[in-house]
Structure 1
Amino acid sequence: MLKYHNTGNSLQNRFTEYVKIDTQSDPESASIPSTEKQKNLGKVLVAQLLELGITDAHLDEYGYVYATIPSNTTKNVPVICFCSHMDTSPDCSGYGVKPIIHTNYQGQDLVLPDDNSVVLRMSEHKDLKDQIGNDIITASGTTLLGADNKAGLAEIMEAAAFLMQHPEHKHGKIRILFTPDEEIGRGVDKADLKKLGADFAYTIDGETCGSIEDETFSADGAVLTIHGISSHPGFARGKMESAVKILSDIISALPKDTLTPEATSKKEGFLHPVTMQGNVEQAEAHFIIRDFDDALLAEHGRTLETIVKQVIAAYPNATYTLKIKEQYRNMKKVLDQHPQVLEYGVLAIERVGIPVKRQSIRGGTDGSRLSLMGLPCPNVFAGEHAFHGKQEWASVQDMEKAVETIINIALIWEEKSN
């Protein structure tokens, strides 16, 4: 019988230590990792893994942490990897995070002390209704918390500590992978899968307690560049064709009631401009394109180009380039070929004694790309909520259940092997 105990608050201590380390990634950077500061957390994790007796833990030049928990069984068990990412989103500051533990939550509004306008209300955070009596961790109101994905890091580390300290629980070889730059879509760009040597994997990067996800968006990124005609504004009549105005017209012409994040849900896709910059001569916008169906994803890209052509037709001398690049694809097509990966994840959650919530992700994880690279990898809950913003929160008790789920996954793979 598995008996994991959060001894001495070790789980929340790990977590609060990790979130204080600024690891924000940078989409404008060409370096790998995109920010050198991500390695600061990597070094801490390696040191702690070595302290646990995991002798091969190391940080590579690209900011990836690799480690192995050796097998302690005579069975021939597939090699399982647990993966989380170290970076936090560039959407909100991750510098100077002050984690606050709100003990014995009773449903009240949580007013964050460093900015009283930042308030967590149960009416706006539906999962809080399941947290009565639990301990809620938030930031202080001026930064994100970083539960995405440092909750996953802390949970994998806690599970690793348990397995190293309890050899009576049998498991196969377990690989640990901590990645940089997941938030900017580069999380596995330099992951060495040959060195990793895993057969199956689980990202620990999900939201609601008990959730397991085997389907993600398919994703493309698009860069639209408008080349206008510049002229002195005092003598521009009949000559100037402003690139920034043309781009603004294109953005305004995008659908407003469909194909936009604020008007879609469930399995509806979208076409979303995320940045714009420019001047009269040249203007550029970056888009993300998302859908669960690859054919619809391609159609959304064609919709964008149709709108561009319609708008720019009114400007006879202006031109454009539109470059659409694949980012990741729906992992379901791979996971459906390996049903035991999801089956054992579901069984692990059931053993913890919580309801299983099988879900699709309106987003992506490192597991999306790992799956398409040949490493089937569903996503398991980490208990992170309201990520990428100042209202981000996590529950200590949900994180404890995530630790138990990770341990159970490892044990189930051993039980089911010969």
Structure 2
Amino acid sequence: MVFEIMEKLIERFLEYIAIDTMSDPKSDTVPSSSIQLPLAKKLKEELEEIGLKATLDDKGYVYATLEANTDKKVPVIGFIAHIDTSPALTGGCKNPKFTEYKGGDIKLNEQYSINEAEFPILKKLVGKTIITTDGTTLLGADDKAGVAEIMNALEYLVKHPEIKHGKVVVGFTPDEEIGRGADHFDVKGFGADFAYTMDGGEIGEFQYENFNAASAVIKVQGKSVHPGSGKDVMINSIYIAMELEQMLPKAQRPEHTQDYEGFFMANEINGTIDYTTVEYLIRDHDKVKFEEKKALMRSAVEYINKKYGNVVTLELNDSYYNMKEIVEPHKEIIDLAVKSMENIGITPLVRAIRGGTDGCQLSYKGLPCPNIFAGGYNFHGRFEMIPVEDMIKASELIVEMVKNAAL
């Protein structure tokens, strides 16, 4: 299988990453950016060329079905990936680089390199062919690697009818990077008994735990007067926002946490003396600690308002929850992924996600949906990279899972 799918897999991936699909968190449209639609249309056409029934709805979601080729009663399995890329850096990677990695740093351009000291994961990739950017864009492996891997696995299954399988459904979503990928996903129409997002990192990653997540918007109304006459009158909203930030535990910032440790993160700030807004992310795997973090944010706002006279308003909204309580009771979903990895020589790395995927929200919408590796590293920046060999294994894994589900 490796040699049969390798060339087409990489060809697809390069075509996909060349199309800029950056989502826009400031937009109220669906999808959030119209530049996602050309790739969505391309995928629908490719799915139909392969021989699948495919649809593209008016919100940019692509769905397709590979019909069963066995009369045996088999659960309907789904695979999902997202087509948008992070707003952290422009997409549209038209000049990717291939490195037959033998160790040391990988030079992207005169200004940027992927340094072995800074990214020690490189030591595990010696002997592999690594695709990187030229340092000016995202690579887009998050999650166009997942898209390409699913597409190639589907084509392989169509070309090999001797592999007996049940119905397989796939979905490609917009706006995952801004937390909206599952908002308009048609779970009922999708028709899967369970699904997997192909949106993880290094080879072997398998995740069915994720953060509980909330967003907080702090709005501070100050009082602007001329600084020459500001004594006992001026209220500087910037200072108040800074004071509130200092009330949150410094040890619970992303740069100081790992594994199951949650965090507060100031994600964006805009301000003047008169008016300041700060957007926060609140995360924790543990539901009790998650609620405690939200309570601490409310208490800090309450204290500031008592001190300065109701100058702060708080908008606090939950974003998604830990899928563990939905997925864990369905042990067969976990076992299928783990067994299939082991069958093709992959060591499963069962980890909690320090983040979220479409699968988090989909699980709470009635579609249990853990996350599987797509093979990439250093997402959301110019240092993103992915080994060719690990993409191939991800595509093989999809075929193996479909095959094992029908046994």
Identify the TM-score tier after normalising by the shorter chain. over 0.9
The Cα offsets for residues 90-133 of structure 1, whole Å up to 9 and x where unpaired, read as 1112145421111x3111311002xx232113333333223222
Q: Quick check: 1:230 aligned with 2:196?
A: no
Q: Quick check: 1:264 aligned with 2:257?
A: yes
Shift of 1:229: 2.1
Tell me which amino acid in the other structure corresponds to 1:305. R
82, 97, 100: which is aligned to 1:85?
82
In structure 1, distance between residues paired with 2:68 and 2:303: 61
Single out whichever of 152-161 and 243-252 deviates more from structure 2: 243-252
Q: In the alignment, which residue of structure 1 is the partner of 2:384? A: 392
Q: In the alignment, which residue of structure 1 is the partner of 2:348? A: 356
In structure 2, distance between residues paired with 1:6 and 1:383: 19
Shift of 1:59: 1.3
Shift of 1:238: 1.6
Q: In the alignment, which residue of structure 2 is the partner of 1:108? A: 104
1:317-396 paired onto structure 2 within 5 Å: 318-396=310-388
CA contact (8 A) 1:246 1:312 kept: no
In structure 1, distance between residues paired with 2:220 and 2:228: 22
- Percent sequence identity over matched residues? 42
Q: Quick check: 1:182 aligned with 2:176?
A: yes
Q: What SS does structure 1 have at the residue aligned with 2:3?
A: coil
16, 20, 30: which is aligned to 1:32?
30
Shift of 1:309: 3.4
Scaled by the length of structure 1, the TM-score of the pair is: 0.94
1:16-415 paired onto structure 2 within 5 Å: 16-54=14-52, 56-102=53-99, 104-113=100-109, 116-256=110-250, 258-316=251-309, 318-415=310-407
Q: What SS does structure 2 have at the residue aligned with 1:37?
A: helix
Scaled by the length of structure 2, the TM-score of the pair is: 0.97
Q: Quick check: 1:13 aligned with 2:11?
A: yes
Q: What SS does structure 1 have at the residue aligned with 2:289?
A: helix
Shift of 1:38: 0.6
Distance 1:88 1:320, change over 3 A: same
Tell me which amino acid in the other structure corresponds to 2:108. L
The Cα offsets for residues 249-278 of structure 1, whole Å up to 9 and x where unpaired, read as 22233322x211011111010011101112
In structure 1, distance between residues paired with 2:245 and 2:278: 9
In structure 1, distance between residues paired with 2:253 and 2:315: 20
CA contact (8 A) 2:175 2:181 kept: yes
In structure 1, distance between residues paired with 2:73 and 2:3: 29
CA contact (8 A) 1:213 1:379 kept: yes
In structure 1, distance between residues paired with 2:120 and 2:195: 30
The Cα offsets for residues 200-257 of structure 1, whole Å up to 9 and x where unpaired, read as 000001111111111111101111111222334343222111222211222233322x
CA contact (8 A) 1:101 1:135 kept: yes
Q: What SS does structure 2 have at the residue aligned with 1:384?
A: coil
CA contact (8 A) 1:97 1:144 kept: no
Shift of 1:7: 4.2
Shift of 1:336: 1.2
Q: What SS does structure 1 have at the residue aligned with 2:406?
A: helix
In structure 2, distance between residues paired with 1:324 and 1:155: 37
In structure 1, distance between residues paired with 2:108 and 2:46: 31
Q: What SS does structure 2 have at the residue aligned with 1:321?
A: strand
The Cα offsets for residues 72-97 of structure 1, whole Å up to 9 and x where unpaired, read as 11111111110000000011121454
Q: CA RMSD in A?
A: 1.4
In structure 2, distance between residues paired with 1:25 and 1:94: 10
CA contact (8 A) 2:326 2:363 kept: yes
Tell me which amino acid in the other structure corresponds to 1:107. G
The Cα offsets for residues 51-87 of structure 1, whole Å up to 9 and x where unpaired, read as 1011x21211001000001111111111111000000
In structure 1, distance between residues paired with 2:93 and 2:128: 25
Q: What SS does structure 2 have at the residue aligned with 1:202?
A: strand
Single out whichever of 24-33 and 271-280 deviates more from structure 2: 271-280
CA contact (8 A) 1:127 1:208 kept: no
Alignment size in residue pairs:
407
In structure 2, distance between residues paired with 1:140 and 1:332: 38
Show structure 1 runs of 5+ residues with no match.
none
In structure 1, distance between residues paired with 2:35 and 2:96: 19
CA contact (8 A) 1:112 1:118 kept: yes
Shift of 1:136: 0.3
Tell me which amino acid in the other structure corresponds to 1:62. K
In structure 2, distance between residues paired with 1:387 and 1:250: 30
